[in-house]
Structure 1
């Protein structure tokens, strides 16, 4: 997929080869400039913006590696493709370590060159788009991790609804990060300078929940030795997050409805009505509409809460994010436990991708933490993973046959994801693991 108006700098000291490349790349629809050595390339990068740089390694005055380091120091976002001879692959490896996007061996395969340029520009475009989106979405000490389509839709939804005053209902399975979504909505709202107050409605009895939400007067019940402000008052001018709202009793549902409708509350043991200004975010892992139809949840409260609904996708529907999340948790727990952990073995990553994750991101986090704690080497293998994960595909033959057969394309996609994850994105090594050529891998990635 061609990026419109992309400006490419070709750095080549061989005049004839440079001319051929310029003509070829221009014919593909890109704007092209040229430089004859690394020094000239660095000067041009400082003088004007480029979307991509294609440079030879061996050049006079300043070679491609030196130019790469200088350009990356000036603008680390520019993708740089290195051209090198077969006999000088060591330089290409050095270039990748220094931050090159990829390398191509001479004589160039022009189909591969075109594909690699398109992928590099697409990758940069997506990074820019994600960065722009995340610039609009400010997070506290956590981040929503994921580049899959469900997560991109989720972040776009947060960006749209956060500035409004609408009540938000977040639905999704346990462990999908509903509280994190609530934090993101608040952090991007007009109330972000005011408090975000959270309460788990399932963790308290009906009487305690009422006291926690609305507060109580001194002497209102045994042990109430002083007046207490409730969560509504604590969240005044800010946001109140009610987690597991589906577990609230019918009586509390009625009291919540009044508080939401009238923006008024009464402390337990008081007849005084207090006005509050609170934006409400609620979350549930239940099917509230089914609960309404069954008479377990008030219909009027449901419609008050369900002004805007946000779906928190289960992990099995965004398996593309599993390697990202797994590595994020690995780094987090390796630092916490003061261990040197480099990654996952291919077999372990394959298991992580195949396991259905009924506990979602929370279960994945716990599994990686366990793996880091039990690890004595440098790579987490299937031995360090929980039995539920490591044995998820080790079923008796009869049982295995009952499982739905995945389309070949999906199986192939998973294998490529595993290979790229376990090689830290090194396409050459990933192709070796998969038993295919690098060119074939690039073609499959483009597809």
Structure 2
């Protein structure tokens, strides 16, 4: 996909010559005559570089530049100035412009400056990506189990394709990680990855969040707003929990997939977009289709490449690798001395069922790095994780628990502590508590006992 350039200049000759030379270089170029037209177009489309004349009728170049920076527009702005306006151009650079060009324009210098601006934009985007990779806890798929090796192959195949993907898996298995890895290995890796959790936004607001709206579309619409789809244009749109959306939104998504266009609320003009959709679901969408709760035509459009992530309990051989990886990671991120874990403590991790999957394990490791003062994590440290839960259950503000509530709280915390002390060995703990292993397992399930409770 060629880089997009916008020219904002009120002189037809300048617009024509700039457009010609830049299109000859292979750029996708649009040109308008006023700042108002330029701002309206920028709200509908994403540009990489903007060539902006300082002296314009109506809104001048500095006012346009100010509005662009207020709206956090990511395009590099090159100011165009006449003789005697260099001081103004320098002021524009201090306000965030990339560079300036003096009239009469040297077409060779125009091309060089535009290419340098594009290079700067790519460097800034790469820097953001690198910082994001370090901050994000889920940027590496750790494991050597057969199921993870197979998952890595599927990620590579999906990355090489342009087709839509649905990632299936329980909560905490790492669906967003897999989506980001597909994006990072794809031809869109230098473009945006836009995430929206469809289950977390009120149903009536979802169309506006996804497709945007124009000023005046409804009483509260004081200005135009780009939706997530347009923000992701050229890149990847990550739709978390797609099985939760209503029939009307399903139709709008189908229209996007079939036509490659969106219509912001209140707009009469469709906007062409190019996005790759990766969706997730905790449940199999096929039964929803059979129950008429999910459109079959949308299912076939979006479920082209289904990927299933196994729960952590089905790849326990990866747990020691995960422990070592995240001990290193959090020690570095939090500025702590590197910690290790004894084989006995690792055995406790292997004995645990991990209902919260990889997210729960990551949370536990991070808390160990913070809470354990020693360099080595041992089985006795596991009981540290009980304390926050016990404090939480202590009656506050003179609140009196019923006898039944108090018994349940005590029972849960006592069983939890014994399991921690015994490295989550159910048989050994059951012997101590004088119950059968099956009875203890049933108690663990009914009380909802988890390692980080």
The normalised TM-score by structure 1 is 0.56
Change (3 A) 1:299 1:384: farther
Stretch moving more, 370-379 or 145-154: 370-379
Given that residues 200 and 242 in structure 1 are in contact (C-alpha distance below 8 angstroms), is that contact kept between their aligned partners in structure 2? yes
User: What corresponds to 1:334 in structure 2?
Assistant: 331
Answer yes or no: is 1:390 the counterpart of 2:420: yes
Q: Secondary structure at the match of 1:189?
A: coil
The question of 1:244 aligning with 2:276 is answered no
Q: Is the 8 A contact 1:266 1:272 kept in 2?
A: yes
Measure, in 2, the Cα distance between the counterparts of 1:288 and 1:210.
21
Name the TM-score, length of structure 2 as normaliser.
0.55
Contact 2:240 2:279 in 1 (8 A): yes
CA contact (8 A) 2:261 2:273 kept: yes
Kindly indicate whether the alpha-carbon contact (under 8 Å) linking 1:206 and 1:252 is maintained by their aligned counterparts in 2: no
Aligned partner of 1:291 among 273, 279, 288: 288
Conserved 8 A contact 1:374-1:384: no
List runs of 5+ in structure 1 lacking aligned partners: 1-137, 405-447
Q: Offset of 1:140 from its aligned partner?
A: 4.9
Equivalent-residue separation in structure 2 for 1:227 and 1:163 (angstroms): 35
Q: Secondary structure at the match of 2:199?
A: helix
1:63-102 counterparts in 2 under 5 A?
none
SS at match of 2:279: strand
Residue 358 of structure 1 and its aligned partner are, at CA, apart by 0.9
- Structure 2: runs of 5+ lacking an equivalent: 1-129, 387-415, 442-453
Q: Which residue of 2 aligns with 1:435?
A: none
1:202 counterpart SS class:
coil
Give how far 1:248 is off. 1.3
Contact kept, 8 Å, 1:250 with 1:297, in 2: the verdict is yes
Cα deviation 1:233-276 (Å, max 9, x = unaligned): 11112211111111212221121111112211110122221111
Provide the C-alpha distance between the structure 2 equivalents of 1:363 and 1:379, rounded to a whole number of angstroms: 21
**RMSD of Structure 2 on Structure 1 (CA):** 2.3
Distance 1:345 1:296, change over 3 A: same
What does residue 215 of structure 2 align with?
218
**C-alpha distance in 2 between matches for 1:236 and 1:230:** 10
Q: SS of 1:240's equivalent?
A: strand
Note the C-alpha offset of 1:318. 1.1
Instruction: Give matches, 1:308-347, under 5 Å.
Output: 308-347=305-344
Is the deviation greater in 296-305 or in 279-288? Answer: 296-305
1:370, 1:384 within 8 Å by CA — same for their partners in 2? no
Contact 2:339 2:369 in 1 (8 A): no
2:362 is aligned with 1:365? yes
Relative distance call for 1:336 and 1:184 in structure 2 (3 A) is closer
The match for 1:4 is none
Instruction: State the 1:286 CA deviation.
Output: 1.5
Shift of 1:403: 8.7
Offset of residue 189 of structure 1: 1.4
Deviations 1:86-111 (A, max 9, x none): xxxxxxxxxxxxxxxxxxxxxxxxxx
1:175 matches 2:212 = no
